[in-house]
Structure 1
Amino acid sequence: MSTEISDLLVRVVPGVTVLVAGVRDEQLGHATPCAEFRVRDLLNHLFQVVRNFQSVAVRREVDWSVTPDALTPGWRDGFAVEAGRMVAAWSQPQALEGVSPGMGLPQRTLGLMMVVDLVVHGWDLALATGQPYEVDPALLPPTAEFLDSMGDMGRKMGAFGPPVVVGAEQGRFGALLALTGRDPSWVPAG
């Protein structure tokens, strides 16, 4: 089976999985465009996303307050496994029904949140580690939809920074990154 959300995940998860697999151990301390995260922190957050959203798909409450260190032996392959489980969980039609008991938002909104998290943090990881990253154009409309509807709440909760002003040369994806408080022209120091 598949759903709207699992179809979007199939477009973003493979690229993010390749990025995770491409991180070298010596890059774990590098800065990322997401100011509060070093590469290690970002990877642990991505693990938290792919694990917790498996539970969100079946309406189990999750704890977002603690981010355990997931970079244990075999973590690169482990990410691929967990991401695959997340896609499978969101492939079930009931995953999109109703409201999340823990987060109080429609399940579809949370599904879009997960997609946007992967799209944006994929960009963060790619830039921080010098890897290529192309966003599937089909991911831009749902990313815009989520940021239009939930961007203000995300800023109030500290998930997004203040919007960054960008020119037309940054393109549609650059404009969406700017809505999350990221500078699309960010480059690593040095």
Structure 2
Amino acid sequence: MTMTTDCGALLERSLAYALGSVAAVPPGSLERTTPCAEWALGELLGHLDDSLDALYEGLTGGRIGLSPAVPAAGDLACAFRTRACAVLGAWAAGPGERVLVGEVPLDMRVMAAVGAVEITVHGWDVARSCGLPRPVPGALAAELLPVARCVVAAEDRGVRFAAPVAVPPHAEPGDRLLAFLGRGR
């Protein structure tokens, strides 16, 4: 990721992609399996809600606590849409330059780019859980893959991410992004 990347636009595009996936969640489907082996769809949506809450907290308060947010109650897809709009509004209001994650300072653009990876990939997970073929848009994936390569370390494998999956050299950018993060087609 270069510092010339428009992280606000990247975040907006990732949210738009994920919103399309979340819109397809049928009622009564929260127990469906997901590509995230330990999570059912409802838990994945709860995790997405927590991720958006952390982004919002960083954008509006300049600090992200290390405690998870109180999970949303009720319609988790609706909660995701509401938080997504709040995050976009907070970015548009002009975030500061730095955010504290725990006690570690982080460039706000880096936080937004990492958030975009999280949101996009879990948006794909949601679509997959619902049986929808929603490839990650190529241009979005091409921008997110360098970010993912910068922030996913070997010690994250087996904990937060599975081992990378092999893809052919001519694979689409979305397939390369998903494969790097341990997801196969």
- Fold conserved (TM > 0.5)? yes
Give me the TM-score of the superposition, normalised by structure 2: 0.83
1:102 Cα offset (Å): 1.9
Percent identity of equivalent pairs: 27
Partners in 2 of 1:103 and 1:158 — Cα distance? 22
What amino acid sits opposite 2:98 in the alignment? Answer: G
Kept after mapping to 1: 8 A contact 2:113/2:144: yes
Hey, what does 1:188 align to over in structure 2? none
Kept after mapping to 1: 8 A contact 2:24/2:127: no
1:179 aligns with 2:163: no
Partners in 1 of 2:112 and 2:41 — Cα distance? 24
Structure 1 stretches lacking a partner, 5+ long: 186-190
1:158 Cα offset (Å): 2.4
Q: Call closer, same or farther: CA 1:175–1:15 in 2, change over 3 Å.
A: closer
4+ runs deviating over 3 angstroms: 66-69, 92-95
Structure 2 stretches lacking a partner, 5+ long: none
Q: Over aligned residue pairs, what C-alpha RMSD do you find?
A: 2.5
Q: Which has the higher helix share?
A: 1
Q: Call closer, same or farther: CA 1:106–1:54 in 2, change over 3 Å.
A: same
Q: Call closer, same or farther: CA 1:142–1:127 in 2, change over 3 Å.
A: same
What amino acid sits opposite 1:62 in the alignment? Answer: G
Q: In the comparison of the two structures, how many residue pairs are matched?
A: 179
Give me the TM-score of the superposition, normalised by structure 1: 0.81
What SS does the corresponding residue of 1:10 show, helix, strand or coil? helix
1:75 Cα offset (Å): 3.6
Partners in 2 of 1:69 and 1:125 — Cα distance? 18
Q: Call closer, same or farther: CA 1:61–1:118 in 2, change over 3 Å.
A: closer
